[in-house]
């Protein structure tokens, strides 16, 4: 240290103070401690402090989510103009970041052009400091006259996308029989009834309570409101309920507030809000839906700040703090939650020109590919810290379900180019067929759950989506395999139909079992309820579209009749507490997914195949249609 150097002819200044050797040593120790403290304190000063700027080079202070600064112009205006606008880093951010995310080179190249169009990225440490120009664009602060930035902001080419569709969105083939049309109109009337009552009694709340005629907020959406509005938008649009669609759109424009501060489920916000907004943007081209989706997408990014990049399940949308569900084993993340982001996040990157969203989900895939799978199966709980499984519970129903769905749909959405997703799906299904698919004594095929090698002979209502999924995935396989998978899909769908047919209400229970003499029926009181879930009719729709066997329409119509009889109440539709009794036991809740999924799938079942054609669209797990990438996403970037 310069200040302690002994000058020629002068005693060192500790010596000048008359100190002895041990005292000198202690004095020097004290002094160096003091200096370290002073220097360290500089880091605690605010960025604006003159002292700090004097002693430390300027550096980026944003949390990891700031890597998203190359966002679309619309979202940039809301969230990336000032560091202080960015969500604060959650505690997880303090953990060592995982080594560079494994976004494949292809992916990076694909988005490089997009990032250029989106404007310069946030200043990297060591790079020349940047300041904001009057138009919000970054300009170099080198002292020289800044060159005028003539680059166009990123713009998704919506017209080009629309031209790439192979069918009119709401179909164009006339000539169906009058009964089919009448049934479709009946389902449209049910949607109008569900919406009108929600609007009258609960607009702006998350769900309608149709018995007490008020709204329900719940605690899944972190202070966000209007879950039913967002979930209903694309169904209203597809059903040509124009006036109602305009009411919903107006609410989004005027009242949908994203500046909330509450604990949200990353999964639910993604599948309902982001999925609903993205789908409605693609269907209508209305910018408001895109900008809200992108703004909300950015708010979810801090959940990925974990050592592995596997996001935690819960995030505070205001602070960006994230954590795991209290009920999840040892702080783990849930397969069906972190595995159900891929479709929406690719579209967030596509629409914003910002690769960060795609990188996050590609990294999840990389972690999953690395970890060893017991017997080829994917357990439901994974540690976001170590990247290892926490508990060996495997299920194609709750906790696992939509992870498998998103693998096959990633392949379909990529126009069958994402071969990695297809391979993961094929391998997972092979393990499921080998270890979990069983036949009951009465000849019903079902998919059991697996707990550390022991089978639980139970199927949840949620698992009934798998008939449709397996049918979808059977496409493009070799003849033997295609037939085997189509048969399996039909058998599982038949079993799920049996779970409805064997109840007094003709609606299915939350879970049904194949043990102790039971066949496709709930054996526990706690599993007898039906909350307007869509999974069974979802499978009917796919099986109808892929086989045109009229029984699927017939089964769908049975559901319509049962809903009318047992779930329709004075002010909307309600779940029921016991499917095995016809005495009404309503739960007083009209779930938002009833409008997003159940009614949409039923309606489509009675439409021609070109309405939301499977050639052009994949449905996210909340039935929000997202387009198949016919145009090659890269080409959609304005050059």
Provide the binding-site residues for ligand DMJ, judged by CB under 6 A. Answer: 402, 462, 533-534, 593, 597, 621-622
* 343 contacts 618 by C-beta, under 8 angstroms: yes
Rounded CA-CA distance 224/622 in Å is 17
Residues whose CB is less than 8 angstroms from the CB of residue 526 and which lie 6 or more positions away in sequence, other chains included: none
CB of 371 to ligand DMJ, least distance (A): 23
SS3 state of residue 125: coil
Q: Smaller CB distance to ligand DMJ: residue 203 or 623?
A: 623
CB of 476 to ligand DMJ, least distance (A): 24
Rounded CA-CA distance 607/628 in Å is 20
Residues whose CB is less than 8 angstroms from the CB of residue 3 and which lie 6 or more positions away in sequence, other chains included: none
Residues whose CB is less than 8 angstroms from the CB of residue 163 and which lie 6 or more positions away in sequence, other chains included: none
For the CA atoms of 588, 594, 598, 602, what is the dihedral angle to 10 degrees? 90
CB of 591 to ligand DMJ, least distance (A): 7
Q: Smaller CB distance to ligand DMJ: residue 337 or 359?
A: 337
DSSP 423-464: HHHHHHHHHHHHHTEEE-TTS-EEE-EEETTEEE-EEEGGGG
Residue 625 pairs in a beta bridge with 619
- Dig out the tokens for 133 from the structure: 């120009």
CB of 593 to ligand DMJ, least distance (A): 4
Of 523, 525, 520, 518, the closest CA to residue 508 belongs to 520
Q: Smaller CB distance to ligand DMJ: residue 366 or 409?
A: 409
Which contacts of 420-424 are long-range, i.e. CB under 8 A and separated by 24 or more positions? 420/365, 420/369, 421/342, 421/365, 424/365, 424/368, 424/369
CB of 534 to ligand DMJ, least distance (A): 6
DSSP 251-312: HHHHH------SEEEHHHIIIIIIHHHHHHHHHH--HHHHHHHHHHHHHHGGGG-SSSSPPP
Containing 607, the helix (H) or strand (E) segment is: none
CB of 548 to ligand DMJ, least distance (A): 25
Q: Smaller CB distance to ligand DMJ: residue 218 or 452?
A: 218
CA dist 452 → 97, 270, 431, 455, 544 (Å) = 31, 30, 14, 8, 36
SS3 state of residue 338: helix
Q: Smaller CB distance to ligand DMJ: residue 616 or 622?
A: 622
User: Which of the following is catalytic: 295, 350, 510, 535?
Assistant: 510
Residues whose CB is less than 8 angstroms from the CB of residue 34 and which lie 6 or more positions away in sequence, other chains included: none
CB of 532 to ligand DMJ, least distance (A): 8
Q: Smaller CB distance to ligand DMJ: residue 271 or 636?
A: 271
The residue whose two tokens read 């700027």 is 53
Residue closest to ligand DMJ (Cβ): 621
Residue 510 known to be catalytic: yes
* 362 contacts 100 by C-beta, under 8 angstroms: no
Taking 3-state DSSP, the helix, strand and coil percentages for the chain, each rounded to the nearest 5, stand at 50, 10, 40
Radius of gyration for the alpha carbons in the chain, expressed in angstroms and rounded? 28
Q: Smaller CB distance to ligand DMJ: residue 295 or 597?
A: 597
CB of 627 to ligand DMJ, least distance (A): 20
Rounded CA-CA distance 401/386 in Å is 23
Q: Smaller CB distance to ligand DMJ: residue 269 or 356?
A: 269
CB of 460 to ligand DMJ, least distance (A): 10
CB of 236 to ligand DMJ, least distance (A): 18
Q: Smaller CB distance to ligand DMJ: residue 70 or 394?
A: 394
Rounded CA-CA distance 187/452 in Å is 43
Rounded CA-CA distance 281/284 in Å is 5
Q: Smaller CB distance to ligand DMJ: residue 384 or 534?
A: 534
Rounded CA-CA distance 217/203 in Å is 11
Of 230, 213, 340, 319, the closest CA to residue 278 belongs to 230
Taken in order 177, 178, 184, 187, is the CA torsion positive or negative?
negative
Q: Smaller CB distance to ligand DMJ: residue 331 or 398?
A: 398
CB of 397 to ligand DMJ, least distance (A): 10
**Residues labelled as active-site residues:** 510
């Amino acid at each position: 240290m310069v200040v302690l150097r002994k000058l020629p002819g002068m005693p060192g200044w500790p010596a000048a103070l008359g100190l002895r050797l041990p005292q000198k040593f202690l004095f020097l120790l004290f002094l160096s401690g003091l200096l370290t403290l002073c220097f360290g304190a500089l880091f605690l000063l605010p960025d604006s402090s003159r002292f700090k700027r004097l002693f430390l080079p300027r550096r980026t202070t944003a949390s990891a989510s700031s890597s998203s600064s190359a966002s679309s112009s619309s979202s940039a205006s809301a969230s990336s103009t000032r560091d202080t606008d960015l969500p604060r880093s959650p505690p997880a951010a303090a953990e060592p970041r995982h080594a560079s995310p494994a976004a494949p080179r292809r992916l990076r190249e694909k988005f490089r052009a997009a990032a250029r169009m989106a404007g310069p990225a946030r200043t990297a440490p060591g790079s020349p400091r940047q300041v904001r120009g009057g138009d919000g664009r970054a300009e170099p602060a080198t002292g020289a006259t800044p060159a005028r930035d003539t680059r166009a902001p990123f713009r998704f080419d919506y017209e080009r996308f629309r031209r790439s569709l192979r069918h009119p969105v709401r179909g164009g083939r006339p000539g169906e029989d009058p009964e089919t049309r009448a049934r479709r109109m009946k389902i449209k009337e049910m949607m109008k009834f569900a919406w009108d009552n929600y609007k009258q009694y609960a607009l702006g709340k998350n769900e309608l309570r149709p018995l007490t005629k008020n709204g329900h907020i719940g605690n899944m959406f972190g202070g966000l409101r209007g879950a039913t509005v967002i979930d209903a938008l694309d169904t209203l649009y597809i059903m040509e309920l124009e006036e109602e669609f305009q009411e919903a759109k107006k609410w989004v424009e005027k009242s949908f507030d994203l500046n909330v501060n509450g604990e949200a489920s990353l999964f639910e916000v993604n599948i309902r809000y982001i999925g609903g907004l993205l789908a409605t943007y693609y269907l209508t081209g209305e910018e408001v839906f895109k900008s809200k989706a992108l703004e909300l997408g950015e708010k979810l990014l801090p959940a990925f700040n974990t050592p592995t990049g596997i996001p935690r399940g819960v995030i505070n949308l205001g602070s960006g703090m994230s954590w795991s569900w209290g009920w999840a084993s040892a702080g783990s993340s849930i397969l069906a939650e972190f595995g159900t982001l891929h479709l929406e996040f690719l579209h967030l990157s596509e629409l914003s020109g910002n690769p960060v969203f795609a990188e996050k989900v590609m990294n999840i895939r990389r972690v999953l590919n690395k970890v060893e799978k017991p017997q080829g199966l994917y357990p439901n709980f994974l540690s976001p810290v170590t990247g290892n499984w926490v508990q060996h519970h495997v299920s194609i129903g709750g906790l696992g379900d939509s992870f498998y769905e998103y693998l096959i749909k990633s392949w379909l959405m990529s126009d069958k180019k994402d071969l990695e997703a297809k391979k993961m799906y094929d391998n997972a299904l092979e393990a499921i067929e080998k270890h979990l698919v069983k036949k009951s004594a009465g000849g019903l095929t079902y998919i059991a759950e697996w707990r550390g090698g022991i089978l639980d002979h139970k199927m949840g209502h949620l698992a009934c989506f798998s008939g449709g999924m397996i049918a979808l995935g059977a496409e493009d396989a070799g003849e033997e395999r295609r037939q085997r998978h189509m048969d399996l899909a039909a058998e599982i769908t038949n079993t799920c139909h049996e779970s409805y047919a064997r109840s007094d209400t003709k609606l299915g229970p939350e879970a049904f079992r194949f043990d102790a003499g039971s066949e496709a029926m709930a054996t526990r009181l706690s599993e007898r309820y039906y909350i307007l879930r869509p999974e069974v009719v979802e499978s009917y729709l796919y099986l109808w579209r892929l086989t045109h066997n009229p029984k699927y329409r017939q089964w769908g119509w049975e559901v319509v009749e049962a809903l009318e009889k047992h779930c329709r109440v004075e002010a909307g539709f309600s779940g029921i507490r016991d499917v095995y009794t016809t005495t009404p036991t309503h739960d007083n809740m009209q779930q938002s997914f009833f409008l997003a999924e159940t009614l949409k799938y039923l309606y489509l079942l009675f439409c021609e195949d070109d309405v939301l054609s499977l050639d052009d669209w994949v449905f996210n797990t909340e039935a929000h249609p997202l387009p198949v990438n016919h145009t090659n996403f890269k080409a959609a970037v304005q050059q």
